[in-house]
Amino acid sequence: MRNLARIGTALGAVAVLATATAGVASAAPSGFTVDVHHSSGALATALSGSLSWSTSSKTVTIGGTSLFVKAGECITVTATGYQGSTKVTDPYAFPGSNQKACADQGVDVTGSIGTHGLTAKVPGGVEHVVIRLTDYDHQIGHYANCYRTASVCQYG
């Protein structure tokens, strides 16, 4: 009986130790992918990357980006951080505000938009980030709306 009590005590101590040392899994999505297709179904442009929230939730970093632009297409990318429906970060724009990036005729382009941080200007930090990819000339846009407290992004 004493051996069972000792085993039970030891197992209980291990369970407490495991609970105390295990980190809480972050629910925030770790990445996103946005595709823009023409009405024919042909892929015009695509963007994917990673998302990382600071522990204070003040900053969201967009990194590890991969951008595809079909030959002859022009695109824009924007990313903005929000609390509810209120913008709380300056928007990031690629290639720049009111500019477009174009692939030459006959040459598909694959590259990166780099790494960018969106930092909240108000207490409470960034609740969600919206990353929008637009086929500039055809005015077809899609987005990823990624919430810090969710495990996946919403796409539209």
pLDDT digits (tens, 9 = 90+) for 128-144: 999 999 999 999 999 99
- Domain edges within the chain: 28-155
- One-character DSSP codes across 128-149: EEEEEEEETTTTEEEEEEEETT
Whether residue 148 contacts residue 108, with contact meaning beta carbons closer than 8 Å, is answered with: no
pLDDT digits (tens, 9 = 90+) for 89-119: 999 999 999 999 999 999 999 999 999 999 9
The answer, as to whether pTM is greater than 0.75, is yes
For 28-155, CATH gives 2.60.40
- One-character DSSP codes across 1-56: -HHHHHHHHHHHHHHHHHHHHSPPPP-S--EEEEEEE-TTS-EEEEEEEEEEE-TT
Handedness of CA 50, 156, 77, 108 (dihedral sign): positive
Confidence of residue 55 (pLDDT cuts 50, 70, 90): very high
| b/e per residue 72-87 (b: at least 16 CB within 10 A) | ebbbbbbbbbbbeeee
Whether residue 59 contacts residue 118, with contact meaning beta carbons closer than 8 Å, is answered with: yes
Average pLDDT over residues 72-86: 97
